[in-house]
Amino acid sequence: MARTLTLAGEDAPDNGAAPTLEQLRTRIAGMQDGVPRVPVPTHPAIADLLQLRTGGAYQVDRPSLGMALLGAASREGAWSAVVGAGDFGVEAAAELGVDLTRTILVPDPGDQWLEATAALVDVVSVVLLRPPAGVTARTAGKIAARLRKRSSVLVVWGEWPGVEARLSVLESSWSGAEEGHGRLRARKVVLGVQHGTAPQRRAELWFPSPDQTMVRIEPASVGRASFVEEVTA
Cα distances (angstroms) measured from residue 71 to each of 16, 98, 183, 232: 38, 4, 25, 39
Q: What is the pLDDT of residues 73-125, one digit of tens each?
A: 999 999 999 999 988 899 999 999 999 999 999 999 999 999 999 999 999 99
How many CB atoms lie under 10 A from the CB of residue 133?
6
Are β-strands 215-216 and 201-206 bridged in parallel, bridged antiparallel, or unpaired?
A: antiparallel
Burial letters for 71-96: b for 16+ Cβ neighbours within 10 Å, e otherwise? bbbbeeebbbbbbbbeebebeebbeb
Residue 181 lies in a domain: no
Residue 162 lies in a domain: yes
Residue 187 in this model has a pLDDT that exceeds 70: yes
Q: Find the CATH number of the domain harbouring 104.
A: 3.40.50.300
Q: Which domain range does residue 117 map to?
A: 3-9+20-167
Q: How would you class 103 by CB atoms within 10 Å of its CB: exposed for 0-12, middle for 13-18, buried for 19 or more?
A: buried
Residue 71 lies in a domain: yes
Q: What is the pLDDT of residues 135-170, one digit of tens each?
A: 999 999 999 999 999 999 999 999 999 999 999 999
Whole-number pLDDT of residue 21: 59
Whole-number pLDDT of residue 2: 73
Residue 194 lies in a domain: no
Count of the separate structural domains present in the chain: 1
Residue 228 lies in a domain: no
Residue 59 lies in a domain: yes
Whole-number pLDDT of residue 63: 93
State the chain's mean pLDDT as an integer.
84
The pTM of this model reads 0.79
Residue 110 lies in a domain: yes
Residue 40 lies in a domain: yes
Q: How would you class 168 by CB atoms within 10 Å of its CB: exposed for 0-12, middle for 13-18, buried for 19 or more?
A: middle
Backbone angles phi, psi at 130, to 5 degrees: -110, 100
